[in-house]
Homo-oligomer: A and B are copies of this chain.
Amino acid sequence: MIIVLRENTDKGKLENLTNWLTSQGLKLHFSEGLHSTILGLVGDTTAIDIDLLKALDIVEDVKRIQEPYKNANRKFHPADTVIEVGGVKIGGGTFQIIAGPCSIETQEQITSVAQSVKDAGASILRGGAFKPRTSPYSFQGLGAQGLDLLIAAKEKTGMPVVTEIMNLERLPLFDKVDIIQVGARNMQNFDLLKELGKTRKPILLKRGLANTLEEFIMSAEYIMAGGNEQVILCERGIRTFETATRNTLDLSAIPVLKKMTHLPVFVDPSHATGVASLVAPMALAATAAGADGLMIEVHNDPPHAWCDGAQSLTPQAFADLVKAVQGIRPFAYSYQKEA
């Protein structure tokens, strides 16, 4: 960490600062520039709050040199994290497709979708039981009953399942769930992250709509700091000025995250775009850029359950997409080759 001091700083305040920094176990290097003095901090600066340093009146600016995350940092753990769940390997050069309906509706629906996406090549089943909705007047999911339907579908098809948790009080209900999803709106629900850090279940962590990649990894670090190292990162679009799509899918997040961290990186093109016709091109793009997997919404019967299924692919469209994905995979960017 580098602290740029203002010209003619108050000596007493500077001494306060340097005493405090050395008490934190850091060594200090001073170097004089033309118009400012720079204070270099050598040692573990992970716990130093950069915003608080910036606010000091003797400080002009603070620049972080070392990343504020340790467990998730590829520098300290060069090898890819590989997560195994129900016989399926995630990360480390594998490629997995998570598919299923946005909301779990009935036993027949979830089982039928599960079977068709499995047949098409998906290896993990998704389905929402607790749904975060912007409006209190919208359908909020089947809740605990939905979880039961999902588990039944898991048992019938043999597919591991992933579903979203919205608050830590519900954690006991997720006992038979294979992967717990943390939604974009909860990416910085720190109490929830801490609690999930105490479990030993894989966590699929979605990027918040306004969160930087560094903050994204810091949220993974919250889980990992609790001892749970099985975190899957999932890019799902960020909020920008563009209104033609629901969110802007940030695919450059794939190569940047692969460099910053050893954790697997997935992409969810369904939520990012919000429209079925954009899902396939964005899924192919994510594959080509070297994502470790995809998460895609599929609904079995859009004409009847139209109001919920319409933003999803049909099983047939999904099957066609999987074939194109498989065609692209051999030519996709490979981060293993690079390393």
Contact = CB atoms under 8 A, between A and B. Distances in A.
B288 A328 contact: yes
Given A33-B42, A245-B252, A328-B288, A138 B221 contact: no
Nearest to A210: B210
A45 to B, nearest CB: 9
B332 A284 contact: yes
A250 B242 contact: yes
Interface of A: 2, 4, 13, 16-17, 20, 29, 31-36, 38, 40, 42-44, 46-47, 49, 51-57, 61, 63, 65-66, 68, 75, 132-140, 166-169, 185-186, 188-192, 194, 208-210, 212-215, 218, 221-222, 225, 238-246, 248-256, 259, 272-278, 280-282, 284-290, 303, 306-308, 310-311, 324, 327-328, 330-333
Contact of A55 (B136, B215, B239, B275): B275
A57 B240 contact: no
Contacts of A133: 190
A129 to B, nearest CB: 13
Contacts of A245: 252, 256
B277 A255 contact: yes
Given A185-B190, A284-B290, 20 more contacts: A16-B303, A31-B40, A49-B307, A54-B274, A63-B63, A68-B137, A135-B218, A140-B190, A166-B189, A186-B189, A208-B210, A213-B242, A240-B241, A245-B252, A282-B289, A284-B333, A285-B285, A285-B288, A287-B288, A288-B288
Contacts of A311: 51-52, 55
Given A29-B31, A255-B281, A311-B52, A240 B243 contact: no
B188 A244 contact: no
A14 to B, nearest CB: 11
A255 B276 contact: no
Given A2-B2, A34-B43, A244-B212, A281 B333 contact: yes
**Copies of this chain assembled into the complex:** 4
Contacts of A55: 274-276, 310-311
A164 to B, nearest CB: 12
A244 B256 contact: yes
Contacts of A241: 210, 212, 238-241
14 contacts: A34-B44, A38-B65, A55-B274, A135-B221, A189-B189, A213-B242, A238-B240, A238-B248, A244-B252, A245-B252, A249-B251, A252-B272, A255-B277, A282-B289
Given A46-B137, A242-B238, A331 B328 contact: yes
Contacts of A327: 330-331
B288 A52 contact: no
Contacts of A46: 135, 137
Nearest to A290: B281
Contacts of A285: 251, 285-286, 288-289
The 6 closest A-B pairs by CB, nearest first: A210-B210, A327-B331, A55-B311, A288-B288, A285-B285, A284-B288
